[in-house]
Amino acid sequence: MSKCRVCREPAIIDLPRHNANFCAEHLIQLCRRQVEKAVKDHDMLAPDDKILVAVSGGKDSLAVWDLLIELGYQADGFYIGLGIGEYSDSSHGYARCFADDRGLSLRVLDLRDEYDYDVPTAAKVTRRVPCSACGLSKRHLFDQAALDGGYDVVVTGHNLDDEAAVLFGNTLRWDVDYLARQYPVLEARDGFPKKVKPLVRLTEREMAAWCIVRGIDYQIDECPMAVGNKHLAYKEALNAIERESPGSKAAFYLEFVDKMAPLLADRRGRPEGGLQHCAECGAPTTGDVCAFCKLRERVTGHEAVPVELVLTGAARRAYVAARTTAAAGAAEGEGSDR
Amino acid sequence: MSKCRVCREPAIIDLPRHNANFCAEHLIQLCRRQVEKAVKDHDMLAPDDKILVAVSGGKDSLAVWDLLIELGYQADGFYIGLGIGEYSDSSHGYARCFADDRGLSLRVLDLRDEYDYDVPTAAKVTRRVPCSACGLSKRHLFDQAALDGGYDVVVTGHNLDDEAAVLFGNTLRWDVDYLARQYPVLEARDGFPKKVKPLVRLTEREMAAWCIVRGIDYQIDECPMAVGNKHLAYKEALNAIERESPGSKAAFYLEFVDKMAPLLADRRGRPEGGLQHCAECGAPTTGDVCAFCKLRERVTGHEAVPVELVLTGAARRAYVAARTTAAAGAAEGEGSDR
């Protein structure tokens, strides 16, 4: 049996990019140190910062919240109900349980209740990929919640795999302005809050292991709306490289941050032409009305579209099969210990 | 049967990135136009330039030579015998036949004859991957041949797949100085000749089709020394992306050239500290003795190492199997009409 690199006790995980195995205790130590290093290297957080964590109910957002509390920070959670059928219902449940078990404050906003739309409906009405309306809505509402709540900084759970895949997509197109903004920290400016990503030095697999060791239940399913998107194809391409040369993925992202991002820093700033206040909501925007308010105006008031009607092909079949299995399991009383 | 996009006659090739099929005549036209565009966009060649083509005997170098002659340029070939067993012997044969059939001038230099080493021996002695000594030797000797022969420019047959794979490797490490030098044209400077890559807008598959249509016999085997190198893994990763989204590979390379290379242009120039003449051969170098002369001093005079002794694992088994098959075929008289 393989042994922990640190203490030589039996290991629970092998991490090829570190060319080592770790026991539960020293995996936890490794994760904690990588977060501390990211926070320190990029001046992400001050000890007394009032932090708002963007919580999805998945492993990454719950792990980063847990890590920050463990490291002594003061951090509240904010969950947005996106209306993605049972996926959203169960995600909300995981977020709620995590917060309640630990006595943490979780604020919840439901898109349908507050703005009379949801992500599947927005995707249907705009005829764009669901991730587009979803990302736009979340960015706007997290920003707004942080400013309204007097928070110093918004924390998101983007991990190394996420950031490497987004970087790969931006690199494949050499989208220089997107590349310039891809950085673990975006400073507060022009009415936007500071935003930081403390998990950029840790992988998906490490965050899953963190949750298991720490006893955190989380949403393990991929979002059904995201199945088949390019982001997942980019992850797979990078995983193929990583299998051949462990450490390639971390080098790809971290060397970008070290070597290339500084060359693009002057493009990370404010947009040309400056910003004004959105006529509808007051948020900073380059036009008269911000992108969120434009989206909201377009998609508000449409009757909710069931998730499966927005999905196509394999995603739809997988979603319907999962629902059918879950329903059958519940009917037969098999779901009780899940 | 699919039809040519241009003339509606039966097609011989489908090109997903153009979302179209082409007949032989219009594939030839497409290749010619893409070379003309690359030459024009990057000011690669003047009508009266005296051109030296770096010829390996593979499809790309023979195709680019053929294309340039067809387009009315004056171009001689230069072949370097690298001593890679039968692979080098047959490659030399293809280059020689191509030149003789067309009445073109091909100069040949044999590493073992002129410098008393070969690539397998250099790899064995230096204990580095063979591609390292090979690339270094070729760059030096092509440069020297161009300058000694009074050529205006060295042409190489690097195609879109090659350049995209090298770009991907450099991007995975964000090797900024390598990225800065990755450009379809390197201007003459400091005693280095001008070097250009007219095939950067065309793929491997298009160049193979060019050779077939034009009746050019070429070395179809991969170099046995290169089997398993990272370059091939990068090609495969990009091919996976390309299959999902045709056109991604061309966008990756060509958008780099358009959007990112200009931001790195000031790093493309001369190295810090300036250049002096190599004490041995007079070539420009940052040190006292150039890298080629250092290599030569180290590896000259060692007895030739058979190719298969330098190969490892799968590459060795494949090489030995191919030699055994060829030998058996020759012994049985089956090889005569090959």
pLDDT tens for B84-106 read 999 999 999 999 999 999 999 99
pLDDT at residue number B14: 95
- What percent of chain B has pLDDT above 70? 94
Distance separating alpha carbons of residues B331 and B61, to the nearest angstrom: 32
Query: Counting Cβ atoms within 10 Å, is residue B236 exposed (0-12), middle (13-18) or buried (19+)?
Result: middle
Grade residue A269 by pLDDT with cuts at 50, 70 and 90: low
- Would the pLDDT of A327 be above 90? no
Structure-block tokens of residue B184: 């379809």
Strand B106-110 with A153-155, pairing: unpaired
Q: Which of A230, A240, A251 sits opposite B237 (nearest CB)?
A: A240
> Does ipTM come in above 0.85?
no
pLDDT at residue number A211: 98
> What stretch of H or E contains A118?
none
Contact B252 A176 (CB under 8 A): no
Contact B230 A245 (CB under 8 A): yes
Contact B174 A260 (CB under 8 A): yes
Give the residue from chain A lying closest to B165, CA to CA: A172
- Would the pLDDT of B36 be above 90? yes
Task: Give strand pairing partners of A81.
Answer: A110
pLDDT at residue number A333: 44
Distance separating alpha carbons of residues A64 and B132, to the nearest angstrom: 44
pLDDT tens for B247-283 read 999 999 999 999 999 999 887 765 666 789 999 999 9
- Would the pLDDT of A270 be above 60? no
Nearest chain B CA: its distance from A255 CA (Å): 6
Grade residue A330 by pLDDT with cuts at 50, 70 and 90: low
Angle ∠(B94,B99,B105) on CA atoms, nearest 5 = 135
pLDDT at residue number A268: 72
Strand A106-110 with A74-81, pairing: parallel
What average pLDDT score do residues A222-244 get?
86
Give the residue from chain B lying closest to A231, CA to CA: B241
- Would the pLDDT of A336 be above 60? no
Nearest chain B CA: its distance from A324 CA (Å): 30
pLDDT tens for B284-325 read 998 999 999 999 999 998 988 888 888 877 777 777 777 776
The answer to whether the CB of B57 falls within 8 A of the CB of B91 is yes
**pTM listed for this prediction:** 0.86
pLDDT at residue number B338: 33
DSSP A309: H
pLDDT tens for A78-95 read 999 999 999 999 999 999
What average pLDDT score do residues A95-114 get?
97
Nearest chain A CA: its distance from B230 CA (Å): 9
- Would the pLDDT of B52 be above 90? yes
Contact A241 B172 (CB under 8 A): yes
